[in-house]
């Protein structure tokens, strides 16, 4: 065995066993090879040695562990490990890393390139160049498993083709295709072999398991103390990603739980979790995950919430702050199949739907968090404001609101009022100018009112609409007009001269935004009605006689 070079590297066995194991260093090397032209890593040979120790033995399960850990810590890297025996009788692991068809990286977002006998970190323009120059061939279309197209699960193909022909989203020219032609149309086969996507969707169970990245889903139920109460797992690879959606929804008893809400003289049953929301969560987890990275999908049920944890980061171009607007297709062919089967509306629309449904049910919006190697979506179980259900239902029924209007109206219905800036933040927009299409016809229809101007504008559900729908609403000073607020401030300073703004604010009404109270004081001071001295928190105000 020769020294290290462009396509070859050696690693000590200590890198993968014991307390000195350094999985990240091994992963970095694999990313570097996958970025360049591929290569081989011999694990179990020390630097300067040509062979492993003659008495070295490799545990039978170690190659699988090496492959699994590297895939967990990387994106778009697909190594394979086997045990080899050297001329001296010692064993070592041969880790083959093929060139990636996409842009490979560590799960933490670091990029490396193999140059000669070293791994060079890539930053800035290097990464942009890599993304531009990398071949566009996706993991879905690869045929590296070399499974003949006839070696599939005929029952799965028959069911898939039947559902495609029954879908109103599919053109007649596609419905007229034979089952074998449908394989090619949806990218399930390329020439004489099934693609990775084909194996996932219509392949045999054993071939799907051999891929190494077919989704495994775990459902875990916890109590108030985070102790496990129940666990379900789908890990035998008998179901395709398409079949998993129905299976999980039907198999988890918690999804059929309900609770009662008062409805006048009666009580009505409300589902703990809306079926449409749960299905959107499952579809997002299955369609948008990186299938080049291993890791289970976890569905965690708590007394007050449901969490779905998916391995891998968000698709490029999508962040938690832009999820309502950004559209990115990580697995385009799989997304097309889900769309045509009516399992999803369109790429990137899942969060729009969840926002609309959850707000219409008086619940909070979904929360999205992104970690180094996972994405977590949380939806609340409890209804925050039951009266919002009837309010939005009557508005939608009377005015046929569009989705964006429903989302905007739902946000406003759950609070006393929102400033333009707060509404921009709630809708994940960049500036106030982008509010117009979200407010839509709400103000023209008399559903929403506003006071103030520009960023200080405050929006709230129209009192007339609340009165007409007979939905109770509390009276507060949150929307008090400026001249009335100034009169309150003057009256307060008559009684309590030389007061700080905090004291004034608490006496005239804590529901009034503090910024609005400051604006009133500034206006009165500018008009010569109120005097002031001091800086910031130490500033006091008094009425000028």
Taking the chain (545 residues) in runs of 10, the rounded mean pLDDT of each run is: 75 90 94 88 88 91 94 92 92 91 88 85 80 66 90 96 95 95 95 95 95 93 93 96 95 87 67 91 90 89 94 71 70 91 74 86 87 88 80 85 89 84 82 85 91 79 78 61 85 91 88 83 90 88 87
Contact yes or no for 266/237 (Cβ under 8 A): no
Residues 6 or more apart whose Cβ sits within 8 Å of residue 202: 152, 153, 156, 157, 160, 183, 188, 194, 240
Architecture of the domain made up of 217-380:
2-Layer Sandwich (3.30)
Assigned fold of 8-134: 3.30.950
- Element (DSSP H or E) covering residue 161: helix 154-166
Domain 387-468 class, CATH top level: mainly alpha
| pLDDT for the residue numbered 1 | 44
| pLDDT for the residue numbered 53 | 92
| pLDDT for the residue numbered 348 | 55
Instruction: Check if 387-468 and 482-543 are the same fold.
Output: yes
| pLDDT for the residue numbered 265 | 58
- How far is Cα 499 from Cα 540, in angstroms, rounded to an integer? 5
Contact yes or no for 63/94 (Cβ under 8 A): no
The predicted model scores a pTM of 0.65
| pLDDT for the residue numbered 451 | 82
Query: Where do the domains of the chain lie?
Result: 8-134, 154-211, 217-380, 387-468, 482-543
Assigned fold of 482-543: Arc Repressor Mutant, subunit A (1.10.10)
- How far is Cα 149 from Cα 195, in angstroms, rounded to an integer? 9
Packed helices 23-35 and 62-72: angle between N→C axes, nearest 10 degrees: 70
- Bridge partners, residue 8, by sequence: 5, 40
| pLDDT for the residue numbered 263 | 62
- How far is Cα 196 from Cα 209, in angstroms, rounded to an integer? 12
List the structure tokens of 19: 């307390």
* Integer angstrom CA distances of residue 159 from 156, 171, 392: 5, 18, 39
List the structure tokens of 24: 């990240």
- How far is Cα 416 from Cα 414, in angstroms, rounded to an integer? 7
């Amino acid at each position: 065995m020769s020294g290290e070079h462009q396509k070859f590297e050696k690693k000590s066995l200590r890198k993968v066993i014991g307390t000195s194991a350094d999985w990240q260093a091994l992963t970095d090397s694999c990313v570097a090879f996958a970025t360049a032209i591929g290569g081989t890593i011999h694990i179990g040979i020390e630097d300067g040695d040509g062979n492993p120790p003659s008495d070295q033995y490799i545990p039978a399960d170690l190659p699988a562990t090496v492959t699994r850990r590297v895939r967990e810590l990387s994106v778009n890297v697909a190594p394979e490990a086997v045990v080899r025996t050297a001329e001296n009788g010692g064993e070592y692991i041969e880790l083959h890393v093929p060139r990636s068809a996409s842009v490979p990286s560590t799960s933490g977002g670091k990029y490396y390139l193999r140059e000669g006998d070293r791994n060079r970190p890539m930053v800035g323009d290097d990464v942009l160049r890599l993304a531009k120059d990398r071949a566009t061939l996706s993991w879905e279309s690869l045929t590296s498993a070399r499974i003949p197209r006839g070696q599939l699960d005929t029952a799965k193909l028959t069911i898939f083709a039947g559902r495609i022909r029954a879908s109103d989203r599919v053109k007649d020219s596609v419905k007229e295709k034979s089952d074998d032609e449908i394989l090619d149309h949806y990218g399930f086969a390329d020439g004489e072999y099934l693609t990775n996507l084909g194996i996932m969707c219509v392949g045999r169970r054993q071939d799907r398991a051999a891929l190494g990245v077919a989704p495994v889903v775990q459902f875990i139920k916890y109590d108030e103390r985070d102790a496990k109460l129940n666990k379900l797992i789908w890990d035998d690879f008998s179901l395709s990603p398409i079949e998993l959606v129905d299976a999980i929804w039907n198999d988890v008893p918690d999804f059929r739980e309900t609770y009662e809400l008062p409805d006048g003289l009666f009580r009505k049953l409300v589902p703990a979790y809306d079926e449409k929301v749960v299905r959107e969560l499952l579809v997002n987890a299955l369609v948008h995950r990186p299938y080049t990275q291993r890791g289970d999908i976890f569905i965690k049920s708590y007394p007050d919430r449901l969490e779905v944890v998916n391995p891998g980061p968000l698709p490029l171009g999508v962040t938690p702050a832009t999820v309502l607007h950004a559209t990115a297709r990580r697995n385009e062919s799989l997304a097309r199949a889900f769309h045509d089967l009516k399992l999803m509306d369109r790429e990137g629309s899942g969060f729009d739907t969840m926002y609309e449904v959850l707000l219409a049910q008086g619940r909070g919006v979904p929360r999205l968090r992104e970690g180094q190697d996972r994405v977590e979506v949380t939806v609340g179980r409890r209804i925050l404001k039951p009266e919002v259900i009837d309010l939005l239902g009557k508005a939608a029924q009377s005015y046929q609101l569009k989705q964006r209007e429903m989302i905007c109206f739902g946000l406003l219905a759950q609070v006393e009022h929102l400033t333009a800036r707060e509404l921009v933040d709630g809708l994940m927009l960049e500036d106030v100018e982008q509010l117009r299409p979200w407010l839509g016809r709400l103000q023209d229809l008399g559903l929403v009112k506003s006071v103030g101007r520009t960023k200080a504008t405050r929006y709230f559900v129209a009192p007339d609409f609340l009165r007409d729908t007979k939905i109770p609403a509390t009276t507060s000073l949150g929307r008090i007009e400026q001249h009335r607020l100034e009169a309150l401030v003057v009256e307060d300073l008559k009684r309590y001269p030389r007061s700080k703004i905090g004291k004034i604010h608490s006496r005239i009404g804590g529901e009034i935004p503090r910024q609005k109270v400051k604006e009133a004081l500034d206006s009165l001071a500018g008009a010569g009605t109120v005097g002031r001295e001091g800086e910031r928190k130490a500033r006091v105000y008094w009425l000028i006689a």
